[in-house]
Amino acid sequence: MALIVLDAGHGGENPGATYQGRQEKDDALQLVLAVGKILERNGQDVYYTRTTDVYESPAQKAAEANQAGADYFVSIHRNSSPYPNQYTGVESLVYNKYGSAARMARNINAELEKVGFANQGIQERPNLAVLCRTSMPAVLVEVGFINTDADNALLDSRFDEVAAAIAAGILESL
């Protein structure tokens, strides 16, 4: 059994990326709550950085995860691009491309690819607080582009499968 911190990106006064009234913070929270239920049903302990529409800084979220003694940290986001419908797919960000965080990122991306998202791979982002200030392996998952209609349609029409894919990618990595 592992303690997994699930972080719904943004929140409160910080909506994250927006598109035609849709807010990243809302999609992220819905996904985190659904993924968490699946992980709990599979015997994992889950700590949520938020379960409501509140804001904490990324540094605060990293500190919470460290204090909780988490085994893994998974932050859920939606990507955005300069122009609508410019890009599509899932991308995961990690501190570096080696080790258990990168393995988890690859597994999550592969599972989301099975649901229908283009797999844009993993990127090193050592400057992000939730990746560099966490003392456990940490992954930030960009679940499709919020300003790409096809990605939104896929997320909306297959939401349960998307949540199950994220959970499966996490569970495969434990």
> What digits encode the pLDDT tens for the residues 20-58?
999 999 999 999 999 999 999 999 999 999 999 999 999
Query: What pLDDT score was predicted for residue 147?
Result: 98
| DSSP one-letter string for 28-54 | HHHHHHHHHHHHHHTT-EEEES-SSS-
Q: Name the residue ranges covered by the structural domains of the chain.
A: 3-173
What are 83-127's pLDDT values in tens digits? 999 999 999 999 999 999 999 999 999 999 999 999 999 999 999
Query: What pLDDT score was predicted for residue 135?
Result: 98
* Token reading at 89: 């797919």
Q: Percent of the chain at pLDDT above 70? A: 100
Please provide residue 118's backbone torsions phi and psi, each rounded to the nearest 5 degrees.
-65, 140
Kindly list the catalytic residues.
142
What are 24-33's pLDDT values in tens digits? 999 999 999 9
**Dihedral of CA 156/161/167/173: which sign?**
negative
State the angle between helix axes of 24-41 and 159-173 in degrees (0 to 180), rounded to the nearest 10: 60
Question: For residues 94 and 13, what is the distance between their CA atoms, to the nearest angstrom?
Answer: 26
Beta bridge partners, 118, equal none
Mean pLDDT over the full length of the chain: 98
DSSP 8-class letter at 1: -
**Dihedral of CA 18/21/27/30: which sign?**
positive
Question: For residues 121 and 60, what is the distance between their CA atoms, to the nearest angstrom?
Answer: 27
What confidence tier does 137 reach under pLDDT thresholds 50, 70, 90? very high
Query: What pLDDT score was predicted for residue 63?
Result: 98
Longest dimension (CA), the chain: 42
Residue with tokens 């896929």: 154
Query: What pLDDT score was predicted for residue 54?
Result: 98
What's domain 3-173's superfamily in CATH? Zn-dependent exopeptidases (3.40.630.40)
Closest CA to 26 of 36, 34, 16: 16
Decide: 63 and 133 in contact? Cβ < 8 Å: yes
